[in-house]
Amino acid sequence: MVSRTVIIDLDADTLTQLKNQGARLYALRAVTSADRTGEPAVWYSNKSLLTANYLTWDSTYAAYISTDPLTPYETVRPQGSVVIAPSQMAVISEPGVLKAESGDLEGRFQIKNSSSSAYTCGIIGAPDVGGNYCAFHITVGGLVVITPTDKVFFMFASQQFDIGTIIEQSFGAGIILDLPAGETTITFDIDEGWVVDPTIDYELVAAGDKLQEKLVIPSQMIFA
């Protein structure tokens, strides 16, 4: 199974200032979807910052549903889930049970609602790492198609958000990394910003920038 590790290095002065601000490291995952109800959610947070901060994950996925609404800066709590792989479909049936079946869209995750209730739904990763990547509204009889990417958004912020909180904007100098397999080291300096190896694709994100278009990337619906 392919794994990825990010090491975020901080010098002593940056670490001291971040701790004095009560800052936390946040990470949000990017997905692609044609469904524009989707919102990015806090996947990972770390309040115990040190000079070297490690985050490792693999390609484990599950589809989830929740009765929590899509409300900005409120938490969406997965209340039912099923392990799912690319090209599979998670089917919601009564009374809110999910089952993985074969899908008909190569490489994509599908969530189909065959129940009589609308839900919030999305994709989560390995539970020992973090929480949900995203949150979508799914109607009765609806279908949501999601494709996780290898892009991850990082920011330091003094605001406190729980895992699964819908975030509409960046609260600090952020960065989106398109991460290769293996280990990647980056540096954050509180005065100079992010320092990244030029071989890594990345996008700097300013405080106040909207995150939905950057982390729920529009895609065209392509049927197999």
Q: Would you state the pLDDT for residue 128?
A: 66
Q: Which two tokens stand for residue 35?
A: 């469904």
pLDDT, one tens digit for every residue, the chain (224 residues): 688 999 999 999 999 999 999 999 999 999 999 999 999 999 999 999 999 999 999 888 999 999 999 999 999 999 999 999 999 999 999 999 999 999 989 889 999 999 999 999 999 986 667 788 999 999 999 999 999 999 999 999 999 999 999 999 999 999 999 999 999 999 999 999 999 999 999 999 999 999 999 999 998 644 33
Q: Distance (Å, rounded) from C-alpha 163 to C-alpha 175? A: 19
CB 44 within 8 A of CB 56: no
Query: DSSP string spanning 125-177?
Result: --TTT--BSEEEEE-TT-EEEEEEEEEEEEEEESS---TTBB--B-SSSEEEE
- Chain position carrying tokens 């089952």: 99
Distance CA 165, CA 70 (A): 10
Q: What is the DSSP letter of 212?
A: H
d(CA 59, CA 53): 21
